[in-house]
Amino acid sequence: MKVLYAASEALPFAASGGLADVAGSLPQALKRRRVDCRVVMPLYGTIKDEFRATMKFITNIMVPVSWRRQYCGVFEAKAGGVTYYLIDNEYYFKRSTLYGHYDDGERYAFFSRAILEILPYIDFKPDIIHCNDWQTSLVPVYYTTIYGSKEGYTGIKTIATIHNIQYQGKYGKEILGDVFGLGEETTPLVEFGDCINLMKGAIECANKVTTVSNTYAGEILDPWFSHGLDPILKERSYKLSGILNGIDTKNYDPETDKDIFCNYSAKEPENKAKNKAALQEIFNLPVNENTPVIGIVSRLVSHKGFDLIKRVMWEVLETTDVQLAVLGSGDWEYESFFKELATAFPEKVGLRLGFVPDMARKIYAGSDLFLMPSKSEPCGLSQMVALRYGSIPIVRETGGLKDTITDSGDGKGNGFTFKSYDAYDMLDAIRRALAAYGDKKLWDKLVKRALKCDNSWGKSAKEYIALYESLLAE
Ligand code: GLC
C-alpha cells in the first residue's frame, strides 16, 4: 500500500505546532507496519542548511496556479527511514514564518496543485493521498474536479484529517477562479457562509474525513466546537471518524533524553527528583523537593484555557505552597498576565516566554504536575509527553484530553480531570491533585503508572491502516 502524506509542516524539517509532530512520526509508524508512506511538504526558507545538504534534487516542473505558471523544484530527503518530497518555490516559501502572509491562500493552492502535478515525476504512485488541515484541503478538491479522470491519476483515494477546525482557510469568492483556478461550477463544493472555505471543500470531496481523537470527532458536530462547520460535517458524518494521535516515544524518552538534567525510567524513577531540583534552580525558585511544581508548556492563546488560569491562579499562589514553571508565547493578554504573576510571586513562578524545545523537555521532566485546561483540544500531545516524563496531567475533559487522561479518583486513572469550562472546577481538580501529592505513597504509585502509560503510535497506526484498507477495498 502506498500513501502520500501531505502536510504543510513536518518534523524534523519545519514545525509550528502539533501537526509537525504527527507528520514527523505517524509515517514512520506506518512504515514499520509495511505501508510505503512518504511525506510531501514545502521546502521552506527556514529549513536548516544541515538538512538541505542531504537533499537530492529530482526535477523541476511548472505548476499552474490558475492562469499563472509557477516554478516547482522537487527535492527528496530521508528522515527516520521515511522519504520526504520537498516542494521548492522561493517566491512562496522563502519567508521568515510558515503562515500568516497576505497570500497564504495562493501559497497553499500552489502547494496543493504541486502535490498532484509532481506525481508523474517522482516514481511513486500513491494509492492514497492523506491530506492535513486547510493548507492541503485543495488536494481532494483538485482531485475531484481536475485530476481524477486524467490518465495516470485514476483510482487514487483522498483522506482529509482535521487537526484543528478553528483554521479553515476562508477567502473571498472573487478569487475562486483567479487564484484557486476553479470554475463557477465548483462553487457548491467550496462555498460556505458566503465565502470560499477550503476545509469545507475537503470535507465534501475527500473519500474519508478524520480528526485526531474520537471525542473531538463527536464534538465538531456541535456548534460550540465546530466554528460553523457542523452542518456540513453532519451531512457527511458517514465518512467522519476519529483516530487518536500517538507520540514519538523514542524521541520523548526520559531514559535517553539528552536535553534533561538526569535520565530516569519507570523502573528507576528516583532521578526525576534531580530534574525537579535543577528546574527549580534555573528558574530561581527555592529548591525544595516537597513543594509541588506545576508545569505549563503551551501556546498562550485563549482556547488553551488561559482564561481559567487567569481567574484563579493568583488565589492558588497566595494560599498554597506550590510553584509554577511556565513556557510559552502567544497573546499579549496572557503573556502580560504571567509577567505580572512572576513579578508578584518571584519565589513561586518561573517564566520563559518563547518556544524553547529543550526547555519544554526540562519542564516535563522536572515538574510534578502538568496543567492543560483547554477549552477545546482536538488531540493534544503535551499531556501525553507529560505522562511519558511522569508529570501528572490536570486537564479538562475535552477532545483528546478526555481520551487520554482519566481521573485518578478511582485509584486507577492517570491524572486529574474536570468537566465544565469553569475556573472553580479547574481549581477543585488542582486542589485534589495537590492533596494527592501530599500522600507520598499514593503519589509514587501515580508517577510510576504515568511512566508506564503507552501512548506510542502502535494502536493508532493500525487504525489508520484499517481505514486505508477499507478505502482501497471500496
Ligand atoms: C493541532 C491541535 C492539537 C493536536 C495537533 C496534532 O495542533 O490543536 O490538539 O494535538 O493538531 O494533531
Average pLDDT over the chain reads 97
- Give dist(CA 400, CA 173) in Å, integer: 34
Confirm or reject: Cβ of 245 under 6 Å from ligand 1. yes
What is the pairing mode between strands 157-162 and 208-211?
parallel
234 CA distance to ligand 1 centroid (A)? 22
pLDDT for res 426? 98
C-alpha cell at 440: 507520598
In this predicted model, which residue has the larger pLDDT, 355 or 178?
A: 178
In terms of Cα–Cα distance, which of 2, 19, 198 is closest to 111? Answer: 198
Tens-digit pLDDT profile for residues 69-104? 999 999 999 999 999 999 999 999 999 999 999 999
Ligand 1 touching residue 163 (CB < 6 A):
yes
Task: Quickly state the pLDDT bin for 6 (edges 50, 70, 90).
Answer: very high
Hey, how many other C-beta atoms are within 10 angstroms of the C-beta on 94? 12
**Residue ranges of the domains in the chain?**
2-246+458-473, 269-454
> Taking Cα atoms as reference points, which of 377, 368, 410 lies closest to residue 395?
377
Q: Which of 26, 210, 212 to mutate to test the pocket of ligand 1 (most atoms within 8 A of CB)?
A: 212
Beta strands in 7-127 (DSSP E): 36-42, 56-65, 68-79, 82-88
Asked if residue 357 has pLDDT above 90, the reply is: no
**411 confidence band (pLDDT: 50, 70, 90):** confident
The average pLDDT across 126-136 equals 98
Phi, psi of 54 (to 5 degrees): -95, -5
* Ligand 1 touching residue 260 (CB < 6 A): no
Percent of the chain that is helix, strand, coil (3-state, to 5) = 45, 20, 35
Residues 365 and 385: their CA atoms lie apart, in Å, by: 10
**Residue having the nearest C-alpha atom to atom 5 of ligand 1:** 18
CB of 298 sitting under 6 A from ligand 1: no
pLDDT at 40: 98
> Measured between alpha carbons, how far is residue 303 from residues 1, 160, 167, 243 in Å?
38, 23, 13, 21
Ligand 1 mean position, distance from CA 377 (Å): 7
With both helix axes pointing from N to C terminus, report the angle between 306-319 and 423-437 in degrees, rounded to the nearest 10: 50
pLDDT tens per residue across span 271-315: 999 999 999 999 999 999 999 999 999 999 999 999 999 999 999
Question: What's the average model confidence in pLDDT over 102-121?
Answer: 98
Dihedral sign from CA coordinates of 459, 17, 9, 398? positive
Whether 2-246+458-473 and 269-454 share one fold: the answer is yes
What is the rounded average pLDDT of the residues 193-217? 98
CA distance 150 to 263: 55
Ligand 1 pocket check: which of 9, 21, 25, 164 to mutate, most ligand atoms within 8 Å of Cβ?
A: 164
Q: Specify whether the CB–CB gap between 64 and 150 falls below 8 A.
A: no
Q: CB–CB of 281/287 below 8 Å?
A: yes
The three-state secondary structure class of 40 is strand
Dist. CA 225 → ligand 1 center (Å): 14
Examine the pLDDT at 425 and tell me if it is beyond 90: yes
β-pairing, 349-353 vs 323-330, is parallel
- Taking each continuous run of H as one helix and of E as one strand, the counts in the chain are 20, 18
Q: What letter represents residue 361's amino acid? A: R
Question: 346 C-alpha to center of ligand 1: Å?
Answer: 32
Residue type, 125: K
pTM comes to 0.96
Is 220 close to ligand 1, i.e. is its CB under 6 Å away? no
Which position has the grid cell 497566595? 318
2-246+458-473, CATH topology level: Rossmann fold (3.40.50)
Centroid of ligand 1 to alpha carbon of 388 (angstroms) = 18
Q: Measured at the alpha carbon of residue 2, what is the angle toward residues 460 and 154, in degrees to the nearest 5?
A: 125
Can you give the pLDDT at residue 362? 98
The helix/strand/coil state of 161 is: strand
Q: Which of 381, 382, 384, 395 to mutate to test the pocket of ligand 1 (most atoms within 8 A of CB)?
A: 381
pLDDT digits (tens, 9 = 90+) for 452-469: 999 999 999 999 999 999
The domain covering 269-454 belongs, at the CATH homologous superfamily level, to Glycogen Phosphorylase B; (3.40.50.2000)
Using 50, 70 and 90 to split pLDDT, how confident is the model at 410? confident
Average pLDDT of 32-47?
A: 98
Position 409 scores a pLDDT of: 86
| One-letter amino acid of 155 | G
Nine-digit cell string for 73: 523544484
| C-alpha cell recorded at residue 138 | 485543495
Residue 152, pLDDT above cutoff 90: yes
Is the CB of 381 inside a 6 Å radius of any atom of ligand 1? yes
- Cα of 242 vs centre of ligand 1, distance in Å, is 13
